[in-house]
Structure 1
């Protein structure tokens, strides 16, 4: 859309409606935390004057779950509407949107985390380090009577950490500051998490600053993305820390700094290392530069895991064979058990199948690309294929895919990603066991365990079919 001389393009009614939906979603997300401890918000022990703050109203489970569902649906619909429009706003509008997203991340840091209880695990792992215990060997149950470890909820009380040494170091720092206070420990983690989210948004804004359309997309897909604010910021998930390092690595591509960032990202979550294949592909014909980046990455990640010890890989290896309730691979597992027998979980076979599906999806998505494929494009394709194909998927895992796609011009995968995150978010509403109302058990037994696997299977098949067809059309199109 072009503008007449002296005027700027005005947003269409669809864009205005999308903006309202996005704003409503973020406000609902903040409201859930503001209301205080509930089925969506674990209680945080500690002096009430310490942040994060809430009204401590203890709302009913049905209310907060309904607010969460509304936030997710409004956010998903708003994103789809905004991304589907052709309006490209002026630069000051995009800057305002980026600043609004950053402000929302700051506000959410001062509210109790919501949606899951993973942050309580983080606090306990940091507590173990400060007390001289090994979080890769022991769980919260090994700290009887400790006020921080006591906050960890079922079924994670016996589980050692699956996170990398950088994540553990941040958790230990938060514990050192917070001491016996769960509340203050969580607040420190929330500040780091929000800072990582904001830093990612500013990196993406700078990376895309020369292309107005790309800059607008990046703001929508990351900084002002209500679904990511809901999952990564309000949910306080450590994935945010891995993402900022990986985005920084791609921005610094080809330098020793890129290798350092890759190493730090891998030392937060091991599976984030998939991004490293992007720079490796682009630098494959520049062996000296590749050696510099790879050497820097290995040195940083190696030093971290050397500090953490060999047990840091034990839980990752075990968790890598798990199958989440909402994954469509649960359907495959059930079919194999019905046909072949129930004597096995068939996890090995499912891992092989997932790799094949990921390879097929990546191939179909690569057919959409015109050569040469650069580091960002290769990394984005592989991560998108991974989040759709992996047997163990949780909503916040999608954050890395959104960040990488935000660095590219419109690809066509955006509606699939938004739908994927929306469906997963609804399936894990909330991702807690404790504090749930018995009459809401159908959210787990029906929505998460039955509806979500079938819908995600259909969505994954749809992505593959669309990518294959679109790739075929792109190849027939003249250069």
Structure 2
């Protein structure tokens, strides 16, 4: 509830004539006044950190009782998500870029060759200027849906936000259906897997609160894996699983890297890996060919229906024009580009682009190596590893990218790295840190409100809560102690 109320004062809201909330006297009274902004900033920061603490305490209280009380993790995910449905977009304003890209498709522009700056009023409608010149990184199915949402909403941001949030809710529902089934098939506790990945505050805040399309991408991908590994499944079910993963590619094309490993599950699911046999290299080419033909067919149909064809391939390879300095390859590209620009006649952006291309080549090379090596690990685990490498070598790393990996790690076959000591503290610390980053970095206020002091206030609250949770809270602090082996109830 604190997060929901806080979002009304410092969440993202385009101030355009079509917006009902932008003309609301009650809402404007909160958003234009410094006192209202400060109160809402406190609510958002405090509520977000309390959500992280509640998640940690839920995991501690359920440890050792997952079989009898584990359903509480699923109920918590649903109950915590409900207030976020009434919140203004928080932690990201990507949803407004979705709207403008759908608008581009509706007026006949190609979002794979130009950015949202091609349509008038894009900035007033809330799209981030960082991506204004970048081609769309999304697949044809999502852009087709975005076109429909633009036409239905008629440019009203409240309607379009609710519809995109509805897509995120569908993705969450698919995840809640798929994760426990995938974990159960792997011999893991299904409710613990749900707690680690879907009840996780990062999922709730960035997927539901920010209305990201990643939720649907994940839901389709995970549901596809469930159909592939389900015991006793028949080949049509397995092929349907591959179709679902192809649909996830049509939402966000990065998941195309998972198709070679999902294909390995086509003949017999997880059976070759549970028995330790694996799959010989020669035996992999049949499933790969079948999967390639199916993927081309599905994506060709969607490209034809949406009118966007296969333009997403070129866009995916060139969408790294923007870079974040805290992404390793983003930092390398910016640094090398600046140095070469000083020493030669080459343009810094061109050199940085070469570095980003090198990162793409590294991701593709690792994918090929993982698929062709003699002993392939569990395909679900390998999919997570390939996705992790692709994220690390990308010029842009967003806080919610961790959410992509958690369901795959939580529901893959048990392996040699089962329950490492560092996993609990690292995961809890990452969730705390990335939640805090979202609070501080994504506060939306009017130009006359002093932005820096408001951010500093949010940062102070986040740091105070972080210090309390890590060092002073008698319960949650046990998660972060590494001096001694933690007791079972203190392990995440």
TM over 0.5: yes
| Alignment partner, residue 178 of structure 2 | 203
| Alignment partner, residue 258 of structure 1 | 241
- Alpha-carbon contact 1:140-1:150 (below 8 Å) kept: no
Q: Of 156, 169, 177, which residue of structure 2 is paired with 1:194? A: 169
| Alignment partner, residue 477 of structure 2 | none
Q: Is 1:248 aligned to residue 223 of structure 2?
A: yes
SS at match of 2:158: helix
Q: Of 21, 30, 39, which residue of structure 1 is paired with 2:4? A: 30
Instruction: Encode CA deviations 1:283-332: one digit per residue, 9 max, x unaligned.
Output: 65254444333322221123334531354344433223542132134543
Q: Give the direction of change, closer, same or farther, for the CA distance of 1:403–1:65 in structure 2 (3 Å limit).
A: farther
1:357 CA displacement: 9.1
- Alpha-carbon contact 2:142-2:250 (below 8 Å) kept: yes
Counterpart Cα distance in 1 of 2:134 and 2:156: 21
Written as runs of structure 1 = structure 2, the 5 A alignment for 1:41-60 is: 41-43=12-14, 46=18, 48=20, 57-58=30-31, 60=36
Written as runs of structure 1 = structure 2, the 5 A alignment for 1:315-464 is: 315-333=315-333, 335-336=335-336, 342=342, 343-345=347-349, 346-347=351-352, 348-349=354-355, 351-352=357-358, 373-408=377-412, 409=414, 410-412=418-420, 413=423, 415-420=425-430, 422-428=432-438, 429-431=440-442, 435=446, 439-440=451-452
| Alignment partner, residue 291 of structure 1 | 289
| Alignment partner, residue 223 of structure 1 | 198
Q: Give the direction of change, closer, same or farther, for the CA distance of 1:109–1:328 in structure 2 (3 Å limit).
A: same
Q: Give the direction of change, closer, same or farther, for the CA distance of 1:189–1:400 in structure 2 (3 Å limit).
A: same
Instruction: Encode CA deviations 1:91-111: one digit per residue, 9 max, x unaligned.
Output: 452223202312433442232
Q: Is 1:167 aligned to residue 167 of structure 2?
A: no
Q: Is 1:176 aligned to residue 151 of structure 2?
A: yes
Q: Give the direction of change, closer, same or farther, for the CA distance of 1:162–1:350 in structure 2 (3 Å limit).
A: closer
Counterpart Cα distance in 2 of 1:208 and 1:324: 34
* Higher alpha-carbon deviation: 212-221 or 150-159: 150-159
1:276 CA displacement: 1.8
Counterpart Cα distance in 1 of 2:298 and 2:453: 44
1:133 CA displacement: 3.6
Q: Is 1:276 aligned to residue 244 of structure 2?
A: no
Q: Give the direction of change, closer, same or farther, for the CA distance of 1:181–1:329 in structure 2 (3 Å limit).
A: same
| Alignment partner, residue 303 of structure 1 | 301
Q: Is 1:93 aligned to residue 93 of structure 2?
A: no
Q: Give the direction of change, closer, same or farther, for the CA distance of 1:223–1:140 in structure 2 (3 Å limit).
A: same
Structure 1 length as normaliser, TM-score?
0.71
- Alpha-carbon contact 2:167-2:213 (below 8 Å) kept: no
Higher relative contact order, chain-length normalized (CA < 8 Å, sep 6+): 2
Q: Give the direction of change, closer, same or farther, for the CA distance of 1:281–1:163 in structure 2 (3 Å limit).
A: same
Instruction: Encode CA deviations 1:250-291: one digit per residue, 9 max, x unaligned.
Output: 112272112211211111111122222322455652544443
- Alpha-carbon contact 1:41-1:113 (below 8 Å) kept: yes
Instruction: Encode CA deviations 1:218-248: one digit per residue, 9 max, x unaligned.
Output: 1212221112111111011111121111111
Q: Which runs of 5 or more residues in structure 2 are unaligned?
A: 229-234, 267-280, 460-492
| Alignment partner, residue 86 of structure 2 | 110
* Higher alpha-carbon deviation: 311-320 or 65-74: 65-74
Q: Give the direction of change, closer, same or farther, for the CA distance of 1:245–1:217 in structure 2 (3 Å limit).
A: same
Q: Give the direction of change, closer, same or farther, for the CA distance of 1:128–1:98 in structure 2 (3 Å limit).
A: same
RMSD (Å) for aligned C-alpha atoms? 4.1
1:129 CA displacement: 2.9
Counterpart Cα distance in 2 of 1:334 and 1:133: 31
- Alpha-carbon contact 2:135-2:319 (below 8 Å) kept: no
Q: Is 1:235 aligned to residue 199 of structure 2?
A: no
Instruction: Encode CA deviations 1:15-67: one digit per residue, 9 max, x unaligned.
Output: xxxxxxxxxxxx4433433xx142x32246546499xxx96632755555555
- Alpha-carbon contact 2:380-2:408 (below 8 Å) kept: yes
* Higher alpha-carbon deviation: 243-252 or 278-287: 278-287
Q: Which runs of 5 or more residues in structure 1 are unaligned?
A: 1-26, 448-479
Counterpart Cα distance in 2 of 1:376 and 1:141: 39
Instruction: Encode CA deviations 1:387-440: one digit per residue, 9 max, x unaligned.
Output: 344331111222211121121355545654554454444445334787475552
